[in-house]
Structure 1
């Protein structure tokens, strides 16, 4: 298990609605959905957490994928011009309380432990060192990261500085990139969204030989003082999980907001990059042009 100490716990009621509207009827569709949070250390998902689909399919199957994420599959074989997928339920988050002042091993020793198989987790961890569909290893990434990962520096300290550097050097711009923008392109223009920032940081870490995962989930947002929170104003989010050695295990870092992930972060799925954790994917016959609307609400439960 990853290191866990006494920490604040938050409970949320999550409601994630994805609506597809089609110009012409869809005759057949097959879909894979990854919207229910995975049960893991620090994350407690209520048994009542459920996925509903309209039109109602004959059946919805549920299984875990290779990475332990909750995956639902369903098919529709009736004409429909709208598809609504809703994932809702209660989840409790108890993140590890970790700070930059916590002692941690040098980043080189973490790389060495996995590479030489002396780390007891090496078999699980090593798969997140390699290139993946969206992330390639480049000297440009390593050069950028080395300004933080100087020789013999504690891995937590270096990882947090890289998180801060990406936060400072990159501008959040939802119009600069799209879901298929290559990571190297986002790195070059220093702009993008949370998906891009997570991919860039993972690319930097892996290019140094470290293990890093992509995490999708929800970020609870806080309303402006004096204003009520708006239903649907929360959002899907993405961040990074860095392997920090046997004592600390995986530590989640949010480069979009320059912070260690805490009770505001609700993890849903983990993988090598975005392609492993796409929330809704599928194929359909017919439909013509279509529009996708997404509403996410993360409401604290008192």
Structure 2
């Protein structure tokens, strides 16, 4: 049971003082049987007032409102949690018999709740995503559902080039396929849409990645120093199963989920606006540090904040 401390610091810089619209933050992890939140603190400069709400997916969302103008906006999230990671499970052994091979139909009582998670969301006029997904279907007999999902996850890891991208937005799956490269959110979206093309329900997950075994390694896991994204697929018998195509990981052993959503735009960690000239915006910097320790990791000290709220 590692204790994980995560510090997520975002700084926006402007050429002159600007006013700020409300900012929407999704940085508070989702408590569950495998994750116990110990501490969650948000700090702001300039001062902000907070209100909390749950979105349509049950994610915790903080809305920050600012009264002061400034040429710098600093937002820092610090969380401490206990993670109860599972060893990689034998996924095939958990699948309900009727869903062992693909295609299959979800149970009638589950179909309304899965809803749009099983629908395609992005255009695929030339059926590029369809054809790519069908590559994982066996030509020699039934295709085992678990084998297909594992093979698809590993294929993205091996066949695509990871690139860190600071610009906003997620590439359409067809573009990620054509380029054979992308960021973690691009790979997650590609796998989501590929699974949906085969009749599987899938959702987008944002959060953080850590790996206790590689904490001191010279070859850290990709994405460990930033926010991360992966995909959940609903498998009857196993439930929502986490797949990280960026790193070829199956299950949530190293993944701290913060938000789940139907599409990436609904799970942006920090979003907001400012009032000023377009050329006032000079840029932003994001720093994520993750500390893992059995005995109780603590976040590094933060600068004196203008406002702090613990939830």
Q: Is the 8 A contact 1:183 1:199 kept in 2?
A: yes
The one of 201, 204, 220 equivalent to 1:214 is: 204
Unaligned runs of 5+ in 1: 1-8
The one of 40, 44, 61 equivalent to 1:53 is: 44
1:123 is the counterpart of 2:116: no
Provide the residue aligned with 2:90 in structure 1.
99
Mark the CA change 1:147 to 1:182 in structure 2 (over 3 Å): closer, same or farther: closer
Q: Distance in 2 between matches of 1:92 and 1:173?
A: 30
Report the CA distance between 1:265 and its aligned residue: 1.2
Aligned length in residues: 281
Mark the CA change 1:155 to 1:177 in structure 2 (over 3 Å): closer, same or farther: farther
Q: Is the 8 A contact 1:29 1:282 kept in 2?
A: yes
1:72 is the counterpart of 2:65: no
Q: Distance in 1 between matches of 2:262 and 2:115?
A: 11
Mark the CA change 1:199 to 1:292 in structure 2 (over 3 Å): closer, same or farther: same
Report the CA distance between 1:212 and its aligned residue: 0.6
Report the CA distance between 1:54 and its aligned residue: 1.4
Provide the residue aligned with 1:158 in structure 2.
148
Provide the residue aligned with 1:171 in structure 2.
161
Question: Matched residue of 2:32: which SS?
Answer: coil
The one of 274, 279, 301 equivalent to 2:293 is: 301
Q: Is the 8 A contact 1:136 1:203 kept in 2?
A: no
Question: Which of structure 1's runs of 4+ aligned residues deviate more than 6 A?
Answer: 175-178
Q: Is the 8 A contact 1:177 1:193 kept in 2?
A: no
Q: Distance in 1 between matches of 2:131 and 2:30?
A: 35
Mark the CA change 1:241 to 1:228 in structure 2 (over 3 Å): closer, same or farther: closer
Report the CA distance between 1:177 and its aligned residue: 8.3
Question: Matched residue of 2:82: which SS?
Answer: strand
Question: Matched residue of 2:3: which SS?
Answer: strand
Question: TM (normalized to structure 2)?
Answer: 0.82
Q: Deviations over 1:84-139 (max 9, x none)?
A: 11111212222444135535232436x4125xx1xx4333223201133xx34663
Question: Matched residue of 2:102: which SS?
Answer: helix
Q: Is the 8 A contact 2:29 2:257 kept in 1?
A: yes
Q: Is the 8 A contact 2:170 2:264 kept in 1?
A: no
Mark the CA change 1:299 to 1:172 in structure 2 (over 3 Å): closer, same or farther: same
Q: Distance in 1 between matches of 2:52 and 2:166?
A: 36
Provide the residue aligned with 1:253 in structure 2.
243
Provide the residue aligned with 2:225 in structure 1.
234
Q: Distance in 1 between matches of 2:287 and 2:230?
A: 20
The one of 19, 28, 31 equivalent to 1:36 is: 28
Q: Distance in 2 between matches of 1:280 and 1:184?
A: 26
Provide the residue aligned with 2:135 in structure 1.
147
Question: Matched residue of 1:112: which SS?
Answer: coil
Mark the CA change 1:275 to 1:263 in structure 2 (over 3 Å): closer, same or farther: same
Greater CA deviation, 92-101 or 251-260?
92-101
Greater CA deviation, 137-146 or 194-203?
137-146
